[in-house]
Structures are given as structure tokens and as C-alpha cells.
Structure 1
Amino acid sequence: MEEKYNSEYPDIPFLREKAKKRIPRFAFEYLDGGCNAEINLRRNTKEIRDVQLRPYYLRDYQGISLDTELFGKTYSAPFGISPIGLQGLIWPKASEILAKAAFDYNIPYTLSTVGTASIEKIADITEGNAWFQLYHPKEAELRDKLIKRAADAHYPVLIILADTPTFGYRSKEIINGLSIPPKMSARNIAQIMGKPRWAIETLLAGQPEFKTLKPYIPNGLSLKHLGMFMNQTFNGRLNAERIKPIRDQWKGKLVLKGVATEEDTEKAIELGLDGIIVSNHGGRQLDHGESTIKPLTRIAAKYKDQIKVMMDSGIRTGPDIASSLASGADFTFLGRSFMYGVGALGNEGGNHTISILKRQLRQVMEQLCCENIHDLPKHRIRE
């Protein structure tokens, strides 16, 4: 597909600033923030950018390709869209906008269990090419229903989430009433009134809902009782006994997201998983943990020949993607960058963000004289 590029916003920070002006503060801070003092939020990106790459200018260079094979499918770039909960709160119909852009540009879009579009809707938009992230229910019956719906909709990849055994302590969300249970304060209403475009688009699209979970949520719940329902229904703590029945049921590719150690990687391999995503939930769960690039580098060096090793958290730009791939990732995922794009440009935000990332990544590879993404590790300068 021809790239749709808006030269007024040539990089992700421009999209972030534009989105900040168009989105109510409570929604923007939900997207943009981390947990506690937001140390790991900043460390994630900083340490990706500490990676240095070496160019080989006199190499016989035949041009580059961004095509990337993953789980038997060839994607047009080595990055996809991470799952984000409550996307429709940040910008109306954001899930649908990004799923359509991902399909048009042949990259994977991942739907969260707590996303604001249904499993079936995203499958329809992507013609069965989206991925689904399962937030683990406490009851096996609900788990099995969600897995069956994803299988019936022909999702090729199921992600199970390991890094949310508890809710992150996010003070901005508490102040803004976006903790569980959520609330809508006079302060938040005032913020909405100051963002008329967002308010109008939200009015037209309808109040954001957990569309995938809607069949299981009792009718007429207040926001307070909805929060109680979510707390009672889901438990993000995984272990081998919880993963085994999922592996038995799911016939597609199964990926564990939130891996941060060699020990958990070994368990994933033992349990027969097809891939892992090295991630710390975008710095939203453990403030004093490692950045993702450090365990990614160790894990890829040791286990890449046994399991697909992917990464998210902290990746914002095309050069960040290059550094992550150079550090051993087979594939990368970005979340906030895409939401900045949609928040800034609405329906065109997904297309434009993909175009930025591809242009930036292509330029880095051309500068390095690197013809394909699998050769990027040869360009990393080792410490």
C-alpha cells in the first residue's frame, strides 16, 4: 500500500504533542504514564537509545528489504501494534482505526481482552489476521469462551499476559479516577469540555465499552460495580498449571508476553510455547525493574534458536526498532507511538505512524548498509 505521510508531523514526538492538545488530560495521562515515579518508563527508551550501531560504507550494497517472516507469515515490516486497554477512551474508535491500518500495511495488530472493540469486529476488519491478548480470567469457563471466540474468528496468534499479577500503582490514574473502580469527576468533565473535537467524536462513537467482555458483564452496572466485577473476574497471575490447558486448547501460535528473565524463557520453552515478548508492560507495573533491552539481549543470545524472541516497551521510533532488532529481537511491538498518532490525526493516525516508522527504519538500514533486518545484529557495537 502507498504510504500516507503528513509532513507536518515527521516524528513521533510531534504526534505526541499534537495528541496531548486534543485529548482530555485524564485520557492522555492514562496513555502516557507509568507506575510510581515513572523511572522504568524513562529507562526503557533511554537504554534502547544507548545501543550504538556500526555502518559499513564500502560494502557491496544491493538495497534493503523490511519484509519479515514470523510464524509462517511474511509481514511488510518487523514491527506490530501492541495491545492497549481502553483504546476508545484515548481516541474514539482507536482500535478499529489501528486494526484497519495494520491490515492495509500488512503488520500485526493485537487486540487486548480489555480493548474497546470486540474479537469478532477486529477479525472482520483484518480478515482474520489480528492477534489476541488474553488477560487471564479466574474461572476456566470464561477463559475457554474467550479462547474459543478467538479460534472461531481465525486469530493466528494468542498472547497470554504474564506481567500483571497485580495492578500497577499509578498515582496519576488514581487522581484522575481511572483506577479500579473508575469515576468521572467534575475535574474530568471540565477537561472534556476543553477538548471539543474529542467530545464530539466520542459522542458520535458512543461511550467506550469493553466490547469483547460485554456478553459477560451484567446489565446496568454502575462504574463502581463494573470495577468490582473486573476485580472479581480476572487474575493476571500465571503459572505452569494455568498455561498448560491453554496450550492444549489453542491450536495456533501461543506467545507469552511480559518475560523478563532467562528462567521464565526456559519455562515457556518447556511448556511448548511458540514465542515470547520481552516486556515490562511499558513501565507500568514495576518501576525498579530492568529496562526491556537488557534482558532481551541476554535472552536472545541464549534462546533465539529455540523460540521466537520479540520485544515491546520503550520502543518509540524507527531507530529504536533498529536498536532492538540489533540486540537480538526477531520482531518488535509499539503501543504508545500508535496511540499518539491516532490521538493527533484521528482516522489517518495509524497510516501515518506506520509510514514514519518504516521511513525511519529504512533510513537507518540504508545508512548502515544493512540489506535485511536479520543482519542488524552484525552492526551492533558490543560493550
Structure 2
Amino acid sequence: MIMALKFDTRYPSIDDLRTKAQKKIPKFAFEYLDGGCNEDVNLIRNTAELREVQLKPNYLRKHHGSSLKTSLFGIEYDAPFGIAPVGLQGLMWPNSPEILAKAAFEHNIPFILSTVTTTSIERAAELTEGKAWFQLYHPTEDKLRDDIINRVAAAECPVLVILCDVPSFGFRPRDIRNGLAMPPKMNISNILQAVGRPHWSIETLKYGIPNFANLLPYMPKNLDLKQLGKFMDQTFSGRLNEEKIKPIRDMWKGKIVLKGVASEYDTEQAIRLGLDGIIVSNHGGRQLDAGQSTIKPLTTIAEKYGDRIEVMMDSGVRSGPDVARAMASGAKFTFMGRSFMYGVAALGKKGGDHTISLLKTELQQVMEQLCCEKTSDFPDHLIS
């Protein structure tokens, strides 16, 4: 059986895109994208332990074809993976959130816009015809929280994602060295790196210096970098609790997903508070280096609570086979951040389409190999 390849065959893997991305963007931007926290232990553990999951093929079973289509919250998507929220996307490649939102819409997969990325709620909704999800960093003031949520509702986003795994910013030595901590600073080394990446620099000039597009209506004008850091620290409080979640549940009429879940306790609280889904996640290994890989709690949480709440996963998922491993372990759906950012950093405006097509092709091949006809059948192929 010959596989039809619908992507640039010079880059037939996510690792190829990562290698290309490293050559295309300044070191400070690549390290912001690529790194974890502290010593990168959890970053490495995420993918390594996920790839210990093994799947069983059934070659002689009658097979009627494999379909990637997956239903979630009453919507049928063309694949069981989506684009995770990523902050400051325009720093890594100019206009990248718009590139990815458009590609996600064209491929009929979810795109989650971060509060702190470089494209606005309204623009993402325009590009996706109201199908983009939105991920909320919790504001310290109720008025700001309510205004952001009202904007998300007006944009007709179907799903609100609330983030629970950033009670403090991760300790990221690379970002500190590169001046990308809070408050950020631009040093001579960064300027020289940008000069050495002319394509990135030209695109940045074309689209403008990246900013927190969703927050512009609330920010004082002409903040210097130190003032920006103070504004962000005063404006957002990442620690969630029942008192903060309840008003959001009362206000938001659509689906609510809690992202950053890594324990049975938090899963039980999400169910008790009437949330619709959780994303088992450790923020891509960027918050707690001493924590578990995502696949470890996912397996237990999905088995125990999968019939009471939609259980999804991100962090450590890099490829089509990784999606299959996660779903065989109990995830109903998966999300990836770095894989898509490598794609746009490597290939610019073609990167979103390329990466989605590559992942679909990889996952289709796995399903055909397993004799797995529907994505919901992946658990039947898990070797436990």
C-alpha cells in the first residue's frame, strides 16, 4: 500500500522541523520554545516515558479502513489532536498564531489561543469562524476577568480553557540568561542573534514587534520593559481554587476545560465543580522539574474518571505515534504546542499545514498497522 504524502518531503519528521527551526530563528527565541525548567528533567521525561507505551497490531483481522475523525464536546474533528496554547508565539516566528489558527480551521482541528500570545481573541475568531478555543490566565481583578470572558463569548468560542498549573512562573535558566524572564530585557547578545537570522528579522519588521495583543485594551501605553513586568505581575494570579472557578462556571455558558491537571484530587474537584473536561498536562515540562511525566497520571485518571469527564492530554506528545500512545492509554484527545511551533519556525506560513498533514499521515499509518478503525479503539491495542 503506497502512502500519499501531502507535506514537504524534505521535512518528514518533527525532529527535522526542529533542526530547521533552530537554524531559522535567534537562539533566545529557540531556547524559549525548546526549553523546560530547571535542568529539563521533566521535559525529557515527558516524551521518554510516553514512548515506553507499546501497542499491539492485529494483522489478520478483517479491516474496513481507519478514520482519524474524533468527536469531542459534540463536535466532530478530522483528527484527535489540536494545537495547544503557547505564549508569545510571535516572538518565535512572526504572525505564527494566525498561521496556526488558519491551518487548524482548514484541517478542522481545535486551535487554543493563549491569553498571553500575540494575536487577539477577535482575530483568532475571525480566522476560525468562531471555532477557536481560548485559554484564560486568571486575572487578579474580577472586572478584567469578566471583560475577557465576555469578549470570548462575543467571539463565539465554543470552549474556555482555564489554567491551573502556573501558581508561579517556572524557573527557566535559559530564559533568565537570555533576558526573557519577567521583566524582560533586550541585551546586545539578543540583538546580534537577531541580525544573524535575517529572514526572522525581516518578518518581524513586517509584522511588528510582538506584543500581548489580548491585553492591549487594559495596558497603560508606552510601558518600558520593567513596567511591563510589573503590569503582568499585578494583573494575573495563576493560582486557582474553588472560589475563583465557581464564578467562571456560572458566567460561561459553553464548555469549560481545566488545563494542567496532574492528580486525582484536582480531577475530582473539576468534576465536582461541573467542568466539562480536563487536560492532563505539566505545561510542557516548564513548571515543575520534579513532577511526573504526563503519561503517568493520565493512565490512572482516565481509567478512574474517563466516564465522568472528558480526559485529554498534552506535554510530551510530539508525533503521530505519540498521539496513538496517549490515546491507547486513555486520552480522549491530545494537544501539542512545540511540534506546531517548530513547523512555523522552520517553514513560515507553510508550517501549519505541513505539520498537521505530517501528523495526520503518521497517525493514519499507525492505525492501519494496528488494524484500528476508530480512534476510540486505541485502548484495545494497548500492551499493559
Which bracket does the TM-score occupy, shorter chain normalised? over 0.9
Partner of 2:67: 65
Show the 5 A alignment for 1:1-383. Answer: 4-382=6-384
Distance 2:378 2:116 in 1: 35
Q: Report the secondary structure of 1:188's partner residue.
A: helix
| CA-CA distance at 1:93 after TM superposition | 0.2
Post-superposition CA distance 1:101-123 (Å, at most 9, x none): 00000000000000100000000
Letter in 1 for 2:195: M
Distance 2:358 2:326 in 1: 17
Tell me if the contact between 2:83 and 2:112 (Cα under 8 Å) persists in the aligned partners: yes
Task: Using the TM superposition, give the Cα deviation of residue 313 of structure 1 relative to its aligned residue in structure 2, in angstroms.
Answer: 0.2
What letter is aligned with 1:5?
A: F
The whole-number CA distance in structure 2 between the counterparts of 1:71 and 1:3 is: 30
Counterpart amino acid of 1:91?
A: W
User: Partner of 1:213: helix, strand, or coil?
Assistant: helix
Contact 1:177-1:183 at 8 Å conserved across structures: yes
Q: Deviations over 1:212-269 (max 9, x none)?
A: 0000010011011001100011010000110000000000000000000011100000
Contact (CA 8 Å) 1:80, 1:109: kept in 2 or not?
yes
Residue 149 of structure 1 and its aligned partner are, at CA, apart by: 0.2
Give the Cα–Cα distance (whole angstroms) in 1 for the partners of residues 362 and 191 of structure 2: 38
For the structure 1 residues 3 and 152, does the alpha-carbon distance in structure 2 shift closer, same or farther, using more than 3 Å as the test? farther
Equivalent-residue separation in structure 2 for 1:260 and 1:3 (angstroms): 36
In the alignment, structure 2 segments of 5+ residues that lack a partner are none
SS in 2 for 1:352: helix
Aligned counterparts of 1:83 and 1:293: Cα–Cα separation in 2: 19
Please, what TM-score do these two structures have when normalized by structure 2?
A: 0.99
Deviation at 1:91, TM superposition (A): 0.2
Instruction: State whether residues 68 and 78 of structure 2, in contact with CA within 8 Å, keep that contact through their aligned partners in structure 1.
Output: yes
- The 8 Å contact of residues 67 and 374 in structure 2, kept in 1 or not, is answered as yes
Say if 2:5 and 2:361, in contact at 8 Å, map to a contact too: no
How far, CA to CA, are the matches of 2:184 and 2:329 in structure 1? Answer: 39
Q: Secondary structure at the match of 1:257?
A: strand
* CA distances 1:20-52 after superposition (whole Å, capped 9, x unpaired): 000000000000000000000000000110000
Q: 2: CA distance between counterparts of 1:141 and 1:30?
A: 31
1:83 shift after superposition = 0.1
Contact kept, 8 Å, 1:162 with 1:257, in 2: the verdict is yes
Q: AA paired with 1:281?
A: H
Structure 1 unaligned spans of 5+: none
User: Conserved in 1, the CA contact under 8 Å of 2:317 and 2:336?
Assistant: yes
Amino acid at match of 1:9: Y
CA contact (8 A) 1:3 1:351 kept: no
- Report the residue type matching 2:251 in the other structure: Q
Task: Give how far 1:3 is off.
Answer: 7.7
Whether the aligned pair in 1 keeps the contact of 2:258 and 2:275 (CA below 8 Å) is yes
Question: Matched residues in 1 for 2:5 and 2:306: separation?
Answer: 32
CA contact (8 A) 2:63 2:373 kept: yes
Aligned CA-pair RMSD: 0.8
Distance of 1:227 and 1:241 partners within structure 2: 26
Shift of 1:17: 0.3
Task: Answer yes or no: is the 8 Å Cα contact 1:99–1:125 preserved in 2.
Answer: yes
Deviating beyond 6 angstroms after TM superposition, the runs of 4 or more aligned structure 1 residues are: none
Aligned partner of 1:271: which letter? L
What is the CA–CA distance in structure 2 between the aligned matches of 1:107 and 1:161, rounded to whole Å? 21
How far is the alpha carbon of 1:4 from its aligned partner? Answer: 4.4
Contact 1:276–1:308 (CA<8 Å) still a contact in 2?
Answer: yes
The answer to whether the 8 Å contact 2:6/2:358 transfers is: no
